[in-house]
A and B are shown apart, each in its own frame.
Chain A
Amino acid sequence: MQPDVPARPRPFPDAETAPYWEAAARGELRVQRCSACGTHRFYPRALCPACHDDAHEWVRVSGRGEVHSFSVVRRAPSPAFAARVPYAIAMIALEEGPHMLSEVVGMDPDHVAIGLPVEVAFEDIGEGMRLPVFRPRGEGGSP
């Protein structure tokens, strides 16, 4: 990164989200799962949205999913993203159920499409943090 390019906005782990970011730094995608009813949930919260139990564990998910929707960003929101445009923001539907916002990388953003099978990858954003992103996945292909 050029020294005069401002850093992109970074996640700031807190008491509730630290397990997610610590897992991501290890190259694992983890979400909360309710210990009472088994529902996976994301974003993190204290109570299960389905049964309101507070018992939960952070479980590793497959990292596989598909593009539920997407948008190719052509006007950067801030100078930090100016060199990256165009890039494909996407809502990913994980196999385990939760949706999450991310970016599809490793392909021409103009070829991203709804229904595209994807798998998680991790982008180094410095200071020991990694950001979960998604790349296209071949049929049955999984690293």
Chain B
Amino acid sequence: MGKDLATLRPAIAGIGETRLGRIAGRTALQLQAEAARAAIADAGLRFEDIDGVVALPMRTQPSMMPAAAIAHYLGIVPSHLATLDLAGASGVAMVQEAAQALQAGSCRHVLCVSGQNMLSHRSRDDAIRQMAEAGAAHPQFEVPYGPLIPSLYALVAQRHMHEFGTTRAQMAEVAVAMRAHAALNPGAHKREPITVEDVLAAPPVSSPFGVLDCSLVSDGACAAVVTMSDRARDLPRPVVQLLGFGQGLSHTHVGEARNLVETGAVRSGAQAFRASGLRPSDIDVAMLYDCFTITVLVELEDLGFCPKGEGGRFVEGGRIRLGGELPVNTHGGLLSGGHPGLPGGFFHVTEAVRQLRGEAGARQVPDARIALVHGNGGIIGMHATMTMGRADAA
């Protein structure tokens, strides 16, 4: 890739987060203000420099035109605003939207921000009920049967076990790896180490899942400042370039899925790799949407890290742990880092930036140069993938 083209690439110039977990007494907007302020300061910019905002709806604080409401709340005077909602694929899609607005010349510095008090807003039971009845299940054709969100992903897991011989212990390894990573992340929601035996013996939720196969319900907010590489070079932080994006959709509701074990990640991953001239073997660290343990196995397959059906065997032997061949979700992911709902997948983006800057501390992947981030929305139907690299990597 020539230098001229490289300077035209979008880049992430700043990141900011709240911690994840129970953060009582704060609204979604207050949480987002904390993350936004941290990201803008990290970028070495002032609020006056921000002229674009990309945001997500707030289930815990419904608002008309969320991106506009958030921009105004933060005192930002925008020339480009976008609210999008691709459920768990939103984190990656926000960065893609920002990159395209920058490449079109609509604005110079875009704040991507999202946050929710998903845990403190109501009781955990009410949050689970709300997700089951007004979440990813079809309101007429699925909700009346009483599925949990875990039940709908469990359909994928059962089918994967049936077709490929995947075991509960292989899925449990994903949960154990995420917890081991979260133990090294002071901002993570759950940090006490767990074993495969703990995952298998955890209270059952919806077969084959026990509670430790399921992601958390957390409060938290996350933000990033996206700009063009030529401007990012003049800012204080190491430049992290955005190399390629892809999206893929296979279904909205799981009841309509033609194939439960092969997803839109095939398309989103291929597109992101093609756009960046990279292959799975080029990836030093991967951030994969981990709403349930099975999700990571299917994504590893569909993104091309292993053949279809081999995801369970791939994660054995510590391959996705720090020190393994492909460290995944070094922050602990949604399973242990925390899951505030729509903002959840955005923490995968900020962790990738931290890794590529070499600022991940105890959980740093040595010499991480290229990262992949993948988001998955709905019941494994909507996918967004991006590749990112250090400025010297491309």
Q: A residues near B, CB below 8 A? A: 8-14, 17, 42-43, 68-78, 80-81, 84, 87, 89, 91, 99-103, 114, 125, 131
- CB pair B207 A12 closer than 8 Å: no
- CB pair B140 A114 closer than 8 Å: no
A57 → chain B, closest Cβ, in Å? Answer: 19
Scoring B143, B154, B158 by chain A CB atoms within 10 A of each residue's CB, the highest score goes to: B158
Residue of B nearest to A72 (CB): B207
- CB pair B128 A77 closer than 8 Å: yes
Q: How far is the CA of A87 from the CA of B148 in the complex (A)?
A: 12
Q: B residues near A, CB below 8 A? A: 128-129, 132-133, 138-148, 150-152, 154-159, 162, 203-209, 253-258, 260
- CB pair A70 B148 closer than 8 Å: no
Q: How far is the CA of A42 from the CA of B258 in the complex (A)?
A: 11
The interface residues of chain A lying within 8 Å CB-to-CB of B145 are 89, 101-103, 131
Q: How far is the CA of A75 from the CA of B129 in the complex (A)?
A: 11
- CB pair B255 A100 closer than 8 Å: yes
- CB pair A70 B158 closer than 8 Å: yes
A110 → chain B, closest Cβ, in Å? Answer: 8
The interface residues of chain A lying within 8 Å CB-to-CB of B260 are 68-69, 91
With A75-B148, A78-B133 in contact, is A91–B155 under 8 Å at CB?
yes
- CB pair B148 A77 closer than 8 Å: yes
The interface residues of chain B lying within 8 Å CB-to-CB of A75 are 148, 203-206
Q: How far is the CA of A114 from the CA of B205 in the complex (A)?
A: 19
The interface residues of chain A lying within 8 Å CB-to-CB of B128 are 77
Residue of B nearest to A88 (CB): B207
Q: Which of B132, B208, B253 contacts A77 (CB 8 A)?
A: B132
B130 → chain A, closest Cβ, in Å? Answer: 9
The interface residues of chain A lying within 8 Å CB-to-CB of B146 are 8-9, 73, 76-78, 80-81, 84, 87, 89, 103
- CB pair A71 B158 closer than 8 Å: yes
Scoring B141, B156, B205, B258 by chain A CB atoms within 10 A of each residue's CB, the highest score goes to: B141
With A69-B162, A74-B205 in contact, is A8–B144 under 8 Å at CB?
yes
- CB pair B206 A114 closer than 8 Å: no
The interface residues of chain A lying within 8 Å CB-to-CB of B129 are 77-78
Provide a sorted-by-A list of 27 A–B residue pairs whose CB atoms are within 8 angstroms. A8-B146, A9-B144, A14-B140, A42-B141, A69-B159, A69-B162, A71-B152, A71-B206, A71-B207, A71-B208, A72-B206, A74-B204, A75-B205, A77-B133, A77-B146, A87-B146, A89-B146, A89-B152, A91-B257, A99-B255, A100-B255, A101-B142, A101-B147, A114-B158, A114-B162, A131-B144, A131-B145
